[in-house]
């Protein structure tokens, strides 16, 4: 009888990111196992002193050698400080928490694409004032901040980035809250803020309450990772970028299987890709002063599943075609037709990722005569067919 591999999973399940990875790992093991797992649901991260329960100082395992594992997938805060407690000659896939991991197979998110999606989402709502609030010490937050600022600058606008100031002494939560509130008060309004993740976005919402600012009327806020529990418990509910963590978890388990079979550990990389923006009340606003343009955009969004034409939008705006086209370009820097296509493609992506509808069913839902028509329309915008998009971001095994 073949020996069952033992795999240690040190991945927290208190957040959607970790739960998504765990679901993907479990599905791979069910299809290709069996595997025997050691996991801790309250686990937070690996440090140089051991593994620790979430929010406590209690070590989970005095030594990772004790369980005689064949493979490990673990969140690691600092690789150099953790090397002394990592088993030798055991395949390890790292999930970095603060510092970039060099020398081990690891999981990363496509941080630049996350920020580009957020920027596009906020620019499409007509904002001209932008902010970013992240965690200064986390490398992934730094990348998200940099790319967000670059994308906003390319559109001709400035981003106000939150910096606490003196980081020699870690501030208390009340001090940090007051600092974010002061930063929000000083920025021009209406303001659109990208937070580095959903937890930080909730901090910004709390700071808005502290500052007496209305969300989304004065400050629109969007996070990332789409932790539905965090987003729905926010007041108002929080917009966020969804990630394909289940597919990444499946691919991580697949890589670990190869490593346990003898493939050499290098710096193999599993990339967690953003799929789409899940829009909720925290960004449900148009920051556009031109009433006719606002009316036209609202018409497009309310009729996203109908094959409307430019003439329909012109009629809804009650202006001449030339006048509304000119004002559309001035406000959004794109034509009415481009906006119709952008909004419809985003809706197709949402249906591809969030539902199990077939391409034929999505075509009917979106008002296309058949799957070949929606495929042609989608391919022109995205450079791949709807089926290829679904396979790329949602594993065919899931």
CA distances from 144 to 111, 136, 196, 222, 274 (A): 5, 11, 7, 13, 13
The mean pLDDT of 203-229, rounded to a whole number, is: 96
Q: What are phi and psi of 259, to 5 degrees?
A: -65, -40
Higher pLDDT among residues 55 and 72, named by residue: 72
Q: What is the pLDDT of residue 170?
A: 74
pLDDT digits (tens, 9 = 90+) for 265-324: 988 999 999 999 999 999 999 888 888 899 999 999 999 999 999 999 999 888 899 999
pLDDT digits (tens, 9 = 90+) for 353-397: 989 999 999 999 999 999 999 999 999 999 999 999 998 887 544
Q: Which position has the token pair 């009327």?
A: 217
Most confident of 1-15, 77-91, 193-207, 304-318: 193-207
The mean pLDDT of 33-42, rounded to a whole number, is: 79
CA–CA separation, 137 and 98 (whole Å)? 7
CA–CA separation, 288 and 272 (whole Å)? 34
Q: What is the pLDDT of residue 228?
A: 93
Report percent pLDDT > 70 for the chain: 89
Q: What is the pLDDT of residue 57?
A: 41
Report percent pLDDT > 90 for the chain: 68
Q: Domains plus CATH for the chain? A: 6-108+244-272 (3.40.50.2300), 111-243+277-283 (3.40.50.2300), 291-393 (1.10.10.60)
CA–CA separation, 254 and 249 (whole Å)? 9
CA–CA separation, 322 and 308 (whole Å)? 18
Would you say residue 252 has pLDDT above 70? yes
């Amino acid at each position: 009888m073949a020996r069952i591999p033992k795999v240690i999973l040190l991945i927290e399940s208190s957040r959607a990111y970790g739960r998504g990875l765990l679901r993907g790992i479990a599905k791979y093991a069910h299809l290709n196992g069996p595997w025997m797992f050691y996991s801790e649901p309250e686990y937070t991260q690996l440090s140089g002193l051991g593994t620790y329960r979430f929010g406590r100082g209690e070590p989970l395992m005095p030594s990772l050698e004790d369980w005689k594992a064949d493979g490990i997938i673990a969140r690691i805060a600092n690789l150099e400080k953790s090397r002394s407690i990592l088993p030798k000659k055991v395949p390890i896939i790292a999930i970095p928490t603060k510092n970039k991991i060099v020398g081990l197979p690891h999981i990363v998110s496509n941080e630049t694409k996350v920020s580009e999606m957020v920027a596009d989402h906020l620019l499409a709502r007509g904002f001209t004032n932008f902010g970013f609030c992240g965690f200064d010490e986390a490398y992934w937050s730094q990348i998200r901040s940099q790319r967000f600022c670059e994308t906003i600058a390319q559109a001709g606008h400035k981003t106000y980035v939150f910096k606490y100031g003196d980081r020699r002494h870690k501030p208390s939560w009340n001090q940090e809250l007051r600092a974010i509130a002061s930063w929000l008060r000083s920025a021009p309004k209406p303001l659109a803020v990208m937070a580095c993740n959903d937890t930080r976005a909730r901090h910004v919402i709390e700071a808005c309450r502290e500052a007496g600012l209305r969300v989304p009327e004065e400050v629109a806020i969007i996070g990332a990772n789409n932790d539905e529990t965090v987003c729905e418990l926010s007041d108002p509910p929080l917009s966020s970028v969804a990630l394909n963590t289940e597919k990444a978890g499946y691919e991580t388990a697949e890589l670990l299987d190869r490593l346990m079979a003898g493939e050499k550990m290098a710096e193999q990389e599993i990339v967690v890709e953003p799929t789409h923006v899940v829009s909720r009340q925290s960004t449900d606003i148009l920051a556009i002063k031109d009433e006719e343009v606002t009316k036209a955009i609202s018409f497009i969004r309310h009729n996203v599943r109908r094959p409307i034409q430019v003439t329909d939008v012109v009629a809804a705006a009650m202006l001449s075609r030339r006048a509304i086209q000119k004002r559309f370009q001035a406000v959004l820097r794109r034509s009415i037709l481009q906006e119709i296509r952008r909004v419809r493609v985003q809706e197709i992506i949402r249906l591809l990722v969030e539902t199990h509808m077939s391409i034929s069913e999505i075509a009917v839902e979106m008002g296309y005569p058949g799957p070949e028509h929606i495929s042609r329309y989608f391919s022109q915008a995205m450079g791949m067919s709807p089926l290829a998009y679904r396979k790329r971001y949602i594993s065919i095994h899931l």
